[in-house]
Amino acid sequence: MKTSLTKFCRDHDLPKSSVYRRCQELSIDTGDGLTPEACDRLLHEFDVVTEPPAVELESAEQQAVTIEVGNHQIILSQPEMPQTYSLESLRQSEVIAFDDPLAIAAQFLQTADVLTAEMQRDIRVREQKLQQTQQAKAAIAEKATEFKLEARLYRERTAMLATAQSQETQGLQQSLTTLQNLGKPPADA
């Protein structure tokens, strides 16, 4: 049978936050209560000495003793007392409260721990992404500078080659024109 964390702490007079933290360190699940093995392990962890539960002795039913003191007395029988009482009639106001606030606090602490760990992981991922971006930017900037130089050299060289090609082509055309002028004109039909 499982025992709630709250009941375990109350029965052994232990601070719930400390027990909860130790459960997390020992990977003991507290969501559905503590197993008997988990309880034993925690008792050992917190050096709690358990005494065997005291056995309540059932009181023997009192036997009715009748004392006769004469006929001048009327002995009344013991009135029956109710077995259930309600404190509701003594209260003047209602209270709003959680049934187990320590369980809510433990759940909050667990959630906060998970969120904190996730935020730290997210920061590490973002820092790594920033470093990669910075490395990429530096590599691109260096290559961009090199590319700009190569592009300028390419423009200059192609302009020079274009000029040379144009001059050579013009020289070739002049030579062809000279050759053509030496030839006989085509016969008229």
Res. 115: pLDDT tops 70:
yes
Tens digit of each residue's pLDDT (9 = 90 or more) over 11-60? 988 999 999 999 999 999 888 899 999 989 988 888 887 766 555 554 44
Tens digit of each residue's pLDDT (9 = 90 or more) over 141-158? 999 999 999 999 999 999
Q: pLDDT: is 83 or 139 the higher one? A: 139
Q: pLDDT: is 137 or 73 the higher one? A: 137
What's the confidence (pLDDT) of residue 59?
A: 47
CA atoms within 13 A on the CB side of 59: 3
Rounded Cα distance, 52 and 47, in Å: 16
Q: What is the enclosing helix (H) or strand (E) of 136?
A: helix 101-182
Res. 87: pLDDT tops 60:
yes
Rounded Cα distance, 135 and 87, in Å: 73
